[in-house]
Amino acid sequence: MAGGTVDGLVVAETARLRLRRLTEGDAAFMLRLLNEPGFIANIGDKGVRTLDDAVTNLRTGPLDSYAVHGFGMWRMERRADGLPVGICGLLRRNGMDDVEIGYALLAEYEGQGYTSEAALACRDLALTVFGLPRIVAIVTPGNIGSERILQKLGLTDQGLREVFPGKPPVAFYA
C-alpha cells in the first residue's frame, strides 16, 4: 500500500483503488450509496433523501470524524478513472472501546474484490499510521460477504452483541 499523508485528501492507494477523504462535493455519490438496498438492509436507513440531507450527513459524519479523530469513512475510487465505488474507513462509535472498520459498496461493484482491497489498506492505516492496538467490526448476522472480508483481515467472530440499544444484536468481530 502506498500511502499519502492523512491530512491531505488521499489517505492510501492500493493496486486498483485510491482512498481519499470525502468532501461536500461527494453529496450526490453519498445520496446514491446511502439509499442502495444493500446499504439499507445491512447498515441501516440513514434517512438521507436529498442532496441537502447528504451534505448534512457528510458534515456530521465523516467530516466531523476527520476533525475529531483524524480518520473516518473514506471514498473508495478506482485509480484508473476516479470513479467512486464505495466507502471504507474507521469509525469511533459512542459506547464502543475500540475503533471499528466499516465499508459499503455500490451494488454494481460487488464481487470484484474492491472492498477487501480497501479494507486491508484501512486495517494497515489503523495499526501503523493511527497506532491503534486493534480494530473491530460489527456485521448484520447472515451477511456472509462481510464476514468473509473480516476473516481476510484476520478478525474472528466473537459472537452476537447488542451494540445499539433497542436493536437486534449484531455479529461482533475482533
Phi-psi region of 131 (alpha: psi -120 to 50; beta: other; left: phi over 0): left
pLDDT at res. 48 = 98
d(CA 46, CA 12): 27
Residue 2 has pLDDT above 70, yes or no: no
pLDDT, tens digit (0-9, with 9 covering 90-100), for 127-155: 999 999 999 999 999 899 999 999 999 99
The alpha carbon of residue 59 and the mean position of all alpha carbons in its chain are separated, in whole angstroms, by: 16
Q: Which domains does the chain have, with CATH numbers?
A: 10-173 (3.40.630.30)
Please state the rounded mean pLDDT for residues 30-43. 96
